[in-house]
Amino acid sequence: MQDIAGKAAFITGGASGIGLAIGRALADVGAKVTLADIDQAQLDKVTPTIEGAFGVRLDVRDRENWKTAKAAAEARHGPVDILVNNAGIGPDGRPFAEMDPVAFDRVIAINLTGVFNGVSAFAAEMQARGRGHIINTSSMAGLMINPTLGAYTTAKFGVVGLTETLRMELAPHGVGVSVLCPGLIDTRLGETTLAAGSERVQGTRSFSQSGLDATIVGERVLDAIRNDDLYILTHGEYRKFVARRDEAVLAAFDRTPASTELAAKGS
């Protein structure tokens, strides 16, 4: 999507951090931005700082809330052509064996099902119109394994798989799809995670401490929309960790006979 000016954008988790940075980047090139967030006070604070922006409260777990937020956004700016499923919370720092099922369900509901809810709300209409772009925020934790990130890693791997599949499904209809996999970014993730009800383990590394400026991420997302990139990365230093996992998977294939070889032995 080269021409972003005049396009309507809907961004979840838009009241701070990465979502707000994406909103600013899109507005700077003429997009009509709706910021959606569960934090009404923060939304009221930041929405006026983006010219022409519209703010709407949204709990991404609530499908009825999606319907009302979508209707309000489109009444203000028209049909949405850019959807950014960015809302999320961080890990609580517990290994799976010690994890409260309620905490697991919360992370999956916000970080993974919340992304699907956005796709469900907007993708069919983009497909029918033959245009649009969807960005789903995963994490570097969606490409590499980290102990004690538990449900967070599970959800973020799920977002990568969802996005890769969605891209294959929507590409023939002229709709682009990207997955954002950031490393450590300067955001309010720790604060919003606690606000969502998570009891983070003491000593868990803050995901908002000494991170990359979110403005840079907003610009990377803008470039990805224009170039129709599938993967949006922010921290090149993690390449070796992703490669290590990929190499382990490929090595397992090297030790596995092809099904045709197994069939020949069976005959």
- Average pLDDT of adjacent 10-residue blocks, the chain of 267 residues: 95 97 98 98 97 98 98 98 96 89 95 98 98 98 90 96 98 98 84 75 48 94 98 96 95 88 62
pTM of whole model > 0.85? yes
Burial of 59 (0-12, 13-18, 19+ CB in 10 A): buried
Active site residues: 152
Give me the pLDDT at residue 204, please.
47
User: Distance (Å, rounded) from C-alpha 10 to C-alpha 25?
Assistant: 13
SS3 assignment, position 257: coil
Write out pLDDT tens, residues 83-104.
Answer: 999 999 988 888 899 999 999 9
pLDDT digits (tens, 9 = 90+) for 214-256: 999 999 999 999 999 999 999 999 999 999 999 999 999 999 9
Predicted pLDDT of residue 82: 98
CATH class, 8-238 region: alpha beta
